[in-house]
Copies of this chain bind each other. A is one copy, B any other.
Amino acid sequence: MPILQFSVNQTLYLRNPNDSVLGRKIISESIRLINQLGFEHFTFKKLARAIGSTEASVYRYFENKHRLLLYLIDWYWLWMDYRFEVVTQNLKEPKERLNACLKALLTDDSPGANGHEPNLRALKNLVMAEFEKTYLTKHVDQDNREGVFLPYKTVCKKLAALIREINPSFPFPHTLISTVMLTANHQLFYAEHLPSLTDIKAHTGHSDTQLECFLQLMIYKTIEP
């Protein structure tokens, strides 16, 4: 099984974490720790302790914890983009392609993984809980100019293009897709923590099927001419 490697925006790191053992430990352990503590309570000192290294060494890879978060999330969307390519390569019809992407977006297929690439299930959780914090800041515009949101925007653009293919006259493809993306991220969180905000039931074993069902309904009804 090939090891997944994506070239993340170089402005996000000082030293490429993929090039060294320590760097890879920083990545895998930060995913675990951010999940465990939440991003607010995650610090480089705690991370360093967890990997048996020092704060100073972590700072040699990442300017600060916010850049590290951006790195992880960029990686996630690059991976999602790759998944989209994989699941759509044999499909012609835009509707089929969109459905395949939706399924890829919602289900984690990680089980078979060989344990050496980042823990994908944990990374997905991290994105669910922390993604919005990457752009709801006072330096969005600067980060955006550096291109740190490109992988996410690429994913959105591809889906919007599929909407366009299905109904070229629909006036809000991008708005609809970013709505879908947000919802995909949030509804499972609601199901678990704020159940009165959703009709999806957590822990039924098919909460992502319910969500997929809702999203398909919403998309196709909304764009139908």
Contacts and interface: CB of A to CB of B under 8 A. Distances in A.
Interface of A: 37-38, 40-41, 129-130, 132-133, 135-138, 140-141, 144, 149, 153, 156-157, 171-179, 182-183, 186-187, 189-190, 193-194, 196-200, 214, 217-218, 221-222, 224
A90 to B, nearest CB: 28
Contacts of A138: 37-38, 40-41
A214 to B, nearest CB: 5
Count of this chain's copies in the oligomeric assembly: 2
Contacts of A194: 135, 140, 144, 149, 153
A132 B157 CA distance: 24
A188 to B, nearest CB: 11
A54 to B, nearest CB: 25
A107 to B, nearest CB: 18
A199 B174 contact: yes
A105 to B, nearest CB: 15
Nearest to A180: B179
A174 B198 contact: yes
B186 A178 contact: yes
Contact of A187 (B173, B175, B196, B214): B175
